Structure 1
Amino acid sequence: MFLKELELVGFKSFPERTTLRFERGISAIVGPNGCGKSNIFDAIRWVLGEQSTKALRSLKMEDVIFTGTDKKPSLGMAEVTLVFCNKSRQIGFDNDEIEVCRRIFRSGESQYLLNRAPVRLKDIMDLFMGTGIGAESYSLVEQGKIGMILSTRPEERRLIFDEVSGITKYKNQKKEALRKLEETDQNLLRVNDIIVEVRREINSLERQANKARRYKQVFEDLKGKETIIAKLEIRRIEKDNSQLREKILDSENQINAREEEINSHRESISARLAKIEQLDEEVSFSHDKLINIDNLINNNAQRIKVNQERIAELNSRVENLKDQLREAGVRIENARMNLENFQKEHSNLEEVVKQKEGLLAKKQNEYEEANSSIKDSQDKIKQSKVLVIDLVSDVTRANNEIADLQAHLKSQLLRQKRLEIEKANTKEEKDKAEEVLGENISELNKVESEFNQLNNRINDIGQSRQKESSERDELIRDIQDLENEKIALQSQKEFLEELKLKYEGISESLNAVLFLDKSPGEDISGILIKVKEQSLCADEQSAGLKYKLSGEAKPMPLDTEAITQRIGHIQIEIDRKKKEQEEIDLRIRGLAEAEEGLRQQAKASEMLLSNKRIQKDGIMKQLEKIQQEYEVLTLELEDLENQFKELNDKQAQLEKKLNHCCQEQKAQEDLVGSLEEHIHDCRINREKILVEITQVKTEIESQKERLTQQVKTEALLMIAFRESRQLFENYSGEIDQSKLKIKQLNEESEELGRRSTEAREEKLSLQESQDKQQKEFKELNAIQESDKGKIDSLNENIEELRKSMYEYQMQAKEFDFKRISIHDRIKQVYKLELESIFDPSAEEENIDKENLGLEIAELSRKLDSYGTVNLIAIEEYEELKKRYDFLMHQEQDLSKAKHSLHEAINKINRTTRQMFFDTFKKIQVEFHTYFRLLFGGGEAEIILTDEENPLESGIEIICRPPGKKLQNVVALSGGEKSLSAVALIFAIFKVKPAPFCVLDEIDAALDEANINRFGTILQEFARISQFLVITHNKRTIASANVMYGITMQEAGISKIVSAKLSVRQEESSELAAVA
């Protein structure tokens, strides 16, 4: 497995999509300071889940998005993608490639993707856990982390060893198990509290449920007897109601007979009424038809008169139209002659205009040729002027560049002097900082000692408080047990007192023993008698004791005084233990206050310790910064010498270019002068042609105007000719239409006269038929009045019968109301439907209603004597009992889960302890080997600060470079620390190599000899792991297979340039020098 590809979009100084494709072996990333090399390191760390903005050199997470430059706007998103080759399946992921991507937006929204599918950060961390890949793993090493490995506390230093030994995931599992264990303890405590409360409620509900059962039994007896009374009453009501229904039925039959007779008369009336209505309609129709005939005769006479008047008018109109027709013929002939004269004159004018237009076209061609010549000359002048402007611009630019170079040379001379002064000042600051660092380390060791003493005292007090808390918990459990026993005895006492009241006077032997849960056997029948369904009472105390001793029964003494005494003793014991609990609480509070005071002191000491460490880190960073500034100043002074030579050469080139530009400028200015003279001559000729064109256009316009006027006159004559001809045709048509209309009017008058004669004959026939219909209408009306009198008499008889039937129906409704009231009462009181148990066909039994009424009264009185009864106590008791059983089951499950978690934690501790020891011993051996290899001798070892607790112990590093005494790593020089840290990193990689490793300028503090050893070991490890090295060192670059150059051609925007390197040392050195 290795890192195959890195892709950045919008991350820090990489706004464009930038892709780096890596190969196995060593890849070097080089470039000047500030070009964005470390942004590559930050991108890899960020995509693997880094959450610290400080580690990413930002104030907030959104700062990793490209913020823009003067020429390029800012972006709204940053995205980094890592592609791993997974053909070896080192990661349990069934793909040849694994693509991990992280995005962030300006809004703060963040996304993680695994093979382009959205996932959580936890999924990414779980995927790489134990492989050596991660934001905080040993595979990502930067210059600052080198110091951190050696300068952090021993407890923090072991985090790297945990990652190497592969116990990080086990520690996470243990942390999760401890969290679950704490939750289980809390749940178990809550369940126990609930069980105690539920047990108390069950005892109370059990008594209420027993009372509710007795109440329900009496209630059922009362319901049965009242149901019998209700049945008898309903049967009597039904009998009376049946007689009423027979009377109602007889009345209904008589009413129906009368109504049938009425219907018969009504049918006769309806039949005659139809005949009367038909006759009435026929009379009305005849009357209307007579009126229509009179109207028709009058209308025809009127229309004949109108037609005769219209014929006279049309004859007069025809004569007038003939006179107008003759006048129109004369106008048509005059218009035709005028039109022919104008057409001849129009043809002559068109020929003149055509000749003038030919002359105009010729003059216009001459004018266009003059314009074209002027335009060509102007274009040449414009080109020459542009060239002159460019030459002037080049001359100006060359002069400006020469001036800039001279100013730059002057400023570089001043800068050289300033850099020499800064270099001397930097050397002095470095010496002072090293002196302050020594003093700071001494003070830090003193504060650490005081802080450890305070922590030991806090631990002692914590153990004492834990012991007191355990005793307090034991007391609480004892008090709870006594409370439960007290509640049970109180319930037993109440039950016995209830039994005494219920079975008072049965036998003195009841005071001896009460047996539960079994029925007597045949061998003791006669000794024991049944008192309750599951309770036995002994006739004699000796028999009861004998039965008890046989193991077949459970005795319960009826002497409540003993129970009362026992309850009193329990209460005394409870009070005593509560007093002990209060004393323990006072001691716990005192210990807590003492612990809090020590914690405040420890916190102050820790803050002081932290400040001292921060001061130390600040001083060390200041030393590193001063050293870097010193080296940078040296390099800058060397660069200035080279720049002086380059600037002098560039100035000579610019002066040569300036002379050439001046000569070319003069030649172009001469050409522009000759072209301007030619343009002047062409313009004079063009003006002359333009005057001639204007004269020809004026003549053409004059002729065209005359031609237009003739066209208009000709058009008017044509219109007049057409109008005269159209008028002639209209007059002829109108005469023909008038003659046709006269003929139609004569024919219509003859037809109207014929129709009037036929209408008079039809009128006489209708008058005779109308007289016969009116006579028959009067006869039918007389018969109708006779039948209506008979119907009124029958209606009066029906009304009397309905009054009688209404009285019967009211009595029946009263019986129904009584029956419904009985049903409702039974239903409301007993929730019972009488229809479901009532059989109307059953014969009435021999029932004593008086005794039944007395029994009902007695049961009602007994029911009232119970007072308030909780009828739902039975269901509540059953439900609470189920809940109690469920809670007990939950308590068992939680106890089992707690045991399982303890076993899992113990197993994790055993596994991680063994894994850590095996890895730690291997790293010890390899660290000693690589230390001697890098230092050329000496000794080094890593030891545990607490060997009895290796899983929480810190790790100390002890080193002895050649020729020095054995000492802690913090006492080494800066170069020795860096080399020791490199030895530790290589030792870790030897024991557990990560798929890839990124080294960010960790060779900065190494001298040339150590760089050679570092490069040799790096090439050795490149055979098993992939290395990405960010460096400035030429020898380190020479060790690489591929070099990636980071440049910043445009301010704020990084670019990538890659090159394959040869294995030959000479060529590698040359490429490194160029980089």
Structure 2
Amino acid sequence: MRLTKLELHGFKSFADPTELVFSQGVTAVVGPNGCGKSNVSDAVRWVLGEQRARLLRGAKMEEVIFQGSSARRAVNLAEVSLHFDNDDGALPVPFKEVVITRRLSRAGESEYFLNRAPCRLRDIHDLVRGTGLGADSGVVIESKMIDALLSDRPDDRRELFEEAAGVGLYRDRRRSTERSLEQTTADMARLDDLINEVTSQVRSLARQRKRAERHAEITTRRFAVELTLASREMAAWKDELEQLDERLIQLREQLPHAQNEVIVKEAQRDAAHAARAASETVRHERARVAGEAREAALKLQGEIAVAEERHRNAVSRRERAEAERSEGAAIGERVVAEWEAARAEEEQTTAALQGAVEALKQQSAVEETTRTAVAQARTALERADQHVRSLRDALRRLELDREGAERKLADVAQRSATLAVEHEALASTQRLAERELATADEQLAIAQSAALEADAALSQARDHARDWRDKDTAARAEARKAEEEAAGLAGRVNAIEGLERERVGLAPGAARLLKDREQFGEGAVLGPLSDYIGADANTAMLVERFLGPTVHAVVIRDAAVATAVRAWHGRTNPGALLLLPLDVVAQLPEAAEAGELSASVQTEGPVRGWVRTLLGRVKPVDAGSAFVDARGAVWLPDSTSSDGPLRRRAELTKLRESLALSVASRDHATAALAEVHAALLTAESQATACADASTQAHARSQQVALQRAERERAYQRATRELADAVALSERLSGRRNELSTRVTQSIAAQEEQNVALATAEQAAGTSRETLGESDRAQDAAREARAAAQVTHAQAQARREVATERRARLERERANAAARLETLQKELSALAEGDAVLERQMQEWRDSLTGRQQTLTEAESSLADAEQGVRTADAELAAVEQALDQSRHDVTALGESLHVAELRHTELSGKRAAITERLEAEWRRPLGDLFADYTAVEAEDDALRAEAEELRSALESLGPVNPLAIEEHEEEMKRLDFLTSQRADLAAAQISLQQAIKEIDVTAREMFMKTFTEVRENFRQIFQTLFGGGECDLKLENPDAPLDCDIEVHASPRGKKTQRIHLLSSGERALVALSLLFGIFLTKPSPFCLLDEVDAPLDDANVGRFVKMLNQFKTNTQFIVITHNPRTTTEAADAVYGVTMQEPGVSSLVSVRMKGPAVDEAEAPAEAPATGA
């Protein structure tokens, strides 16, 4: 493989497309300073992937694009291409020619191409790896890199050795493998956390699965019980709903007849409204006529008043116009006189302006002559000043160079003086860092122990909080149960109280009498007998069995009320009715005998006699299935009678007592819940505090670990800085000698430059005097020309003022004439308008009298129409009163219908509520629920008790995860999968660790093999270049060759110095070349570009350098950028000359060297270089 061509376009000073063709051997690139030679080496470094703008002699990468010159605009694109002949297949691509291209735009877009195809920078690095090419390889060697390669940065030497040994590829693989190992370790840690989490979740789901299975069993039994109760209740409501349906049909038939009566009344009302609207229309029409007559009269009066005002204004305006016409005539005469005077003044200023123009032309010609003389003198002075400035710049550069060298020399001396102090300080810093590292180890152990204790406290606090959370759940369930029980009892109490208020279950006749009792007078009808009897549930059942329908009897005041009620009953026929007058009841002893039914009831007020009469000496036998009265008669009542009002009132009393107990129980459960919840909040607060403490402890542990790592880095840094200080002390000694020589040379050159500067300044002084005389002559001519310009401007201004004054007076004269004509026309028009206005005013006064008569007649007609409206309002009121009565009848029927519908709705609502509750709870249609359930054979009370027990059992289970079974199975599968994944990661971790060991062994073997070969070659080349002496390469730590520094030792013949920092610059350059060519002998690069590396060599060393180039050029192409003619003539096979024919733009001249003759391939005209 060899380099065949370099193409540049828009790169730095190479603005135009430029080609450098290379053949075997040595190609020299020559040219004056600043012509752009080094841009060739920058181009090679850049196209091979250099990313540091500093190494390309720039501040940012965009500066490699041509920036423009005095004659050219900047370009927007830089492109460089390297062409390689790949016949030997050194590059692993199936191409005979390989082209590597890099392109950069000002927009910041950077592109790489391989054989004109887009690619990545990494692809190019992989392609040239192991071939000796690369941005970090030794392809480009600059003079300033000599010291860097030998002393300042040991890493640079290592890169050269690793490139030669091919270790870079293994180093990259090792880094990649280490990253994979780190990722695998991190994945294992995350997977361990995940496995622990999933394991915990599997245990939790196992417990949830058992609860879910128990929940399913209880739910199945509860489904059967709830559906059995619901079916029985819905069957009981069915009969009552059928009766309500019949009642609703009757009411709905009666309601339309009443509504039709309302419609008839509404039609009558609409007719009355229509009559009233007609009367109102007539009234409005007559009011409109009266209003129009009134408005017309008022309008005519206003027009008369306006006309009178206009007449007065016209007389005043005619007087003002007469005065203005007299004044305008006087103004016109004055304007004519002024215009004649302005025309004469304009003719005089025109003549004066022509004389000023002639004088200005003469003075301008004189000024132009003096300006030419001044320009010539200034040109001569500028040339002299330019020469003086160039000499001063040269002198200033010499002074700056000397001052810089002196400053550097002083800095080196000061640095050497302080270096010993720094050395001791660094040693002390190292010892201190070592002590701090030991202290950090102790602190880390303490922090880790504290973190473990905080974790234990956190676990205990969480367990405590979990216990209180379970208690809170149980207390919450108990409170919810008590709340539901109290709400259920309150609902039953409200329902029974509603039945009591509506007298539901009372006989129809008694209910109708109680509804109409107000017509009998206050206190006549007292109420039903059941309102005055109180008993427990069992006694109430016995009383109702014995009394039968008598329990619906109505207590009245006396026999007179009974007569009135009989009459009412005959009219209304409400049904069977039993009356109990208080004035006819027999008076029995107050005390009842033991066992009597009356002894078990409580009575109130005056009905006590009737109760004793009905129940006195009546004793229940056979557990209330039969009764014996005072006469010995045996009563056998129907034992299947339904609940009556006494039993309902007894149940209401019992429910109220139960409700009070339930409310108390609910309050107690709520208070207990509050106490448990407060304890739970305290426990959770303690758990949170422990969690915070654990977090702080872990944070402290991490902080201490970071501090320990920082102190370890500080110790390593102190050790490294101490070693650097020792090496720097040695380099400063050699640097001091070089700077002393440089100061002496700068002082001699500065003295020569001062003599030349004195001569140039004298010549510049003569030119400056000549320029002063010319400037004074020019100033006099400029002042004369300025005076002429002032005279010309003044004359022109006077002429313009006169012209403007004449024009203005001309306009004023025309305006005065036009104003007089306008005033005359206005006076004529005012006279005609006065005559017309007088006639119109007389006509309006005549019309006003007739319109006032019309207004009087219209107001009389309006009063008659308003009386008709009042009559229609009275008829409408009577019709609306009849309509209200019909609507009242409809409302009464509607209320009855509404009551029936409410009861129907109540029962339907209960049935719908049960349906909705069951469908919502079981999430299925009611029909499907009844079809699927199996009836439970048991009493309703037993079923309700069992349903409550099942509900309590479900609540005690608490929240249940219905998907626990499926989730448990899924998490088990997930746990198995994660466990297998961890096993795979563990195997991968072992494999990666083994791979790193194998890479280290291979890279070490390759590096040591290459190092040995380079070491031998370095010794041979050193002996050749120096003609003797000793040199060696040593590893700072032979046990770690891949990480330690490489030390270079060299002692030229006749010297005992081992440290290369003490050698001269020429000797260091030869040592660097010896090392470079020693690497080439190990693994030669396809080509090498040497940028002025022969600059510090004397003639003898240049000869040795040329000899070495000739020795190696058979295997390596050399591109040598040089100023040394010996290198060019003795070693070069071809020469490119770089020049700047156009300022700021580099161009090439190529010459092929053939033996002693020189064939010029291309020779454009020479031009001096002006800068890079």
TM-score range, shorter chain: 0.5 to 0.7
2: CA distance, partners of 1:349 / 1:220: 126
Quick check: 855-864 or 276-285, which moved more? 855-864
Q: How does 1:362-511 map to 2 (within 5 A)?
A: 365-366=354-355, 368-370=357-359, 372-377=361-366, 380=369
2: CA distance, partners of 1:730 / 1:846: 117
Q: Secondary structure at the match of 2:110?
A: strand
Cα RMSD of the aligned pairs, angstroms, is 7.7
2: CA distance, partners of 1:241 / 1:161: 107
2: CA distance, partners of 1:921 / 1:745: 142
Does the 8 Å CA contact 2:215/2:957 hold for their aligned counterparts? no
Distance 1:783 1:27, change over 3 A: same
Q: How does 1:483-632 map to 2 (within 5 A)?
A: 611=722, 614-616=725-727, 618-620=729-731, 622-623=733-734, 626-627=737-738, 630=741
Is structure 2 residue 111 aligned with structure 1 residue 114?
yes
1: CA distance, partners of 2:204 / 2:808: 127
Q: State which of 82, 85, 89 in structure 1 corresponds to 2:82.
A: 85
What per-residue deviation string (whole Å, max 9, x for no partner) do you get for residues 664-683 of structure 1? 999x899999x99x999xx9
Match of 2:1070 in 1: 979
1: CA distance, partners of 2:188 / 2:808: 117
1: CA distance, partners of 2:844 / 2:888: 73
Does the 8 Å CA contact 1:927/1:987 hold for their aligned counterparts? yes
2: CA distance, partners of 1:1020 / 1:905: 41
Cα distance, 1:953 vs structure 2: 8.9
Does the 8 Å CA contact 1:146/1:978 hold for their aligned counterparts? yes
Does the 8 Å CA contact 1:248/1:808 hold for their aligned counterparts? yes
Does the 8 Å CA contact 1:218/1:863 hold for their aligned counterparts? no
Match of 2:502 in 1: none
2: CA distance, partners of 1:843 / 1:910: 78
Q: State which of 1133, 1136, 1144 in structure 2 corresponds to 1:1042.
A: 1136
Q: State which of 960, 967, 974 in structure 2 corresponds to 1:871.
A: 960
What per-residue deviation string (whole Å, max 9, x for no partner) do you get for residues 899-953 of structure 1? 5535755775687578668867876787677567646799999899999998779
Match of 1:277 in 2: 276
2: CA distance, partners of 1:806 / 1:865: 42
Cα distance, 1:259 vs structure 2: 0.5
Structure 1 residue identity aligned to 2:102: E
2: CA distance, partners of 1:52 / 1:41: 14
> TM-score, with normalisation over the residues of structure 1?
0.55
Distance 1:860 1:910, change over 3 A: same
Match of 2:248 in 1: 248
Does the 8 Å CA contact 2:36/2:1146 hold for their aligned counterparts? no
Does the 8 Å CA contact 2:269/2:876 hold for their aligned counterparts? yes
Match of 1:98 in 2: 101
2: CA distance, partners of 1:353 / 1:775: 91
What per-residue deviation string (whole Å, max 9, x for no partner) do you get for residues 427-459 of structure 1? xx99xx9xxxxxxxxx9xxx9xxx9xxxxxxxx
Cα distance, 1:168 vs structure 2: 0.8
Structure 2 residue identity aligned to 1:619: E
2: CA distance, partners of 1:957 / 1:287: 132
Match of 1:575 in 2: none
Structure 1 residue identity aligned to 2:1102: I
Structure 2 unmatched runs, 5+: 417-422, 431-707, 1160-1165
2: CA distance, partners of 1:198 / 1:355: 118
Q: How does 1:695-734 map to 2 (within 5 A)?
A: 723=823, 727=827, 731=831, 733=832
Match of 2:986 in 1: 895
Identity score, percent: 23
What per-residue deviation string (whole Å, max 9, x for no partner) do you get for residues 450-484 of structure 1? x9xxxxxxxxxxxxxxxxxxxxxxxxxxxxxxxxx
Cα distance, 1:982 vs structure 2: 1.9
Q: How does 1:266-305 map to 2 (within 5 A)?
A: 266-271=266-271, 273-274=273-274, 276-277=275-276, 279-281=278-280, 283-284=282-283, 287-288=286-287
Q: Secondary structure at the match of 2:240?
A: helix
Cα distance, 1:173 vs structure 2: 1.6
What per-residue deviation string (whole Å, max 9, x for no partner) do you get for residues 139-171 of structure 1? 243456546656699998554232123331332
Match of 1:460 in 2: none
Does the 8 Å CA contact 2:276/2:873 hold for their aligned counterparts? no
Size of the alignment, in residue pairs?
819
What per-residue deviation string (whole Å, max 9, x for no partner) do you get for residues 968-1008 of structure 1? 99999986664354244235346655566443554355443
2: CA distance, partners of 1:381 / 1:947: 87
What per-residue deviation string (whole Å, max 9, x for no partner) do you get for residues 680-724 of structure 1? 9xx99x99x999x99x99xx999x99x999998998688667755
Is structure 2 residue 213 aligned with structure 1 residue 213?
yes
Does the 8 Å CA contact 2:211/2:957 hold for their aligned counterparts? no
Structure 1 residue identity aligned to 2:225: K
Cα distance, 1:217 vs structure 2: 1.5
Match of 2:484 in 1: none
2: CA distance, partners of 1:833 / 1:290: 78
Q: Secondary structure at the match of 1:84?
A: strand
2: CA distance, partners of 1:80 / 1:844: 87
Does the 8 Å CA contact 1:339/1:714 hold for their aligned counterparts? no
Does the 8 Å CA contact 2:37/2:1121 hold for their aligned counterparts? yes
Structure 2 residue identity aligned to 1:615: V
Q: Secondary structure at the match of 2:960?
A: coil
Cα distance, 1:92 vs structure 2: 7.6
Q: Secondary structure at the match of 2:939?
A: helix
Q: Secondary structure at the match of 2:1105?
A: helix
Does the 8 Å CA contact 1:188/1:895 hold for their aligned counterparts? yes
Distance 1:236 1:45, change over 3 A: farther
Structure 1 residue identity aligned to 2:968: Y
Is structure 2 residue 1126 aligned with structure 1 residue 1015?
no
Does the 8 Å CA contact 1:934/1:983 hold for their aligned counterparts? yes
Match of 2:177 in 1: 177
Match of 2:937 in 1: 848
1: CA distance, partners of 2:717 / 2:293: 134
Structure 1 unmatched runs, 5+: 67-71, 105-110, 434-442, 452-595
1: CA distance, partners of 2:355 / 2:907: 132
2: CA distance, partners of 1:817 / 1:279: 53
2: CA distance, partners of 1:737 / 1:51: 104
Match of 1:227 in 2: 227
Distance 1:996 1:782, change over 3 A: same
Does the 8 Å CA contact 1:293/1:763 hold for their aligned counterparts? no
Q: Secondary structure at the match of 1:837?
A: helix
2: CA distance, partners of 1:367 / 1:763: 95
Does the 8 Å CA contact 1:229/1:849 hold for their aligned counterparts? no
Q: How does 1:114-153 map to 2 (within 5 A)?
A: 114-115=111-112, 129-130=129-130, 132-134=132-134, 136-143=136-143, 145-146=145-146
Match of 2:975 in 1: 884
1: CA distance, partners of 2:282 / 2:784: 117
Cα distance, 1:177 vs structure 2: 0.7
Distance 1:83 1:360, change over 3 A: closer
Q: State which of 804, 807, 817 in structure 1 corresponds to 2:899.
A: 807
Distance 1:846 1:269, change over 3 A: same
Does the 8 Å CA contact 1:47/1:102 hold for their aligned counterparts? no
Does the 8 Å CA contact 1:26/1:1022 hold for their aligned counterparts? no
Distance 1:1016 1:1059, change over 3 A: farther
1: CA distance, partners of 2:7 / 2:1102: 27
Cα distance, 1:615 vs structure 2: 3.0
Cα distance, 1:884 vs structure 2: 1.0
Does the 8 Å CA contact 1:6/1:83 hold for their aligned counterparts? yes
Does the 8 Å CA contact 2:46/2:135 hold for their aligned counterparts? yes
Cα distance, 1:255 vs structure 2: 1.3
Q: Secondary structure at the match of 1:137?
A: coil
2: CA distance, partners of 1:389 / 1:968: 61
Q: Secondary structure at the match of 2:907?
A: helix
Cα distance, 1:5 vs structure 2: 3.8
Does the 8 Å CA contact 1:4/1:85 hold for their aligned counterparts? yes
Does the 8 Å CA contact 2:8/2:79 hold for their aligned counterparts? yes
Distance 1:624 1:997, change over 3 A: farther
Cα distance, 1:618 vs structure 2: 4.3
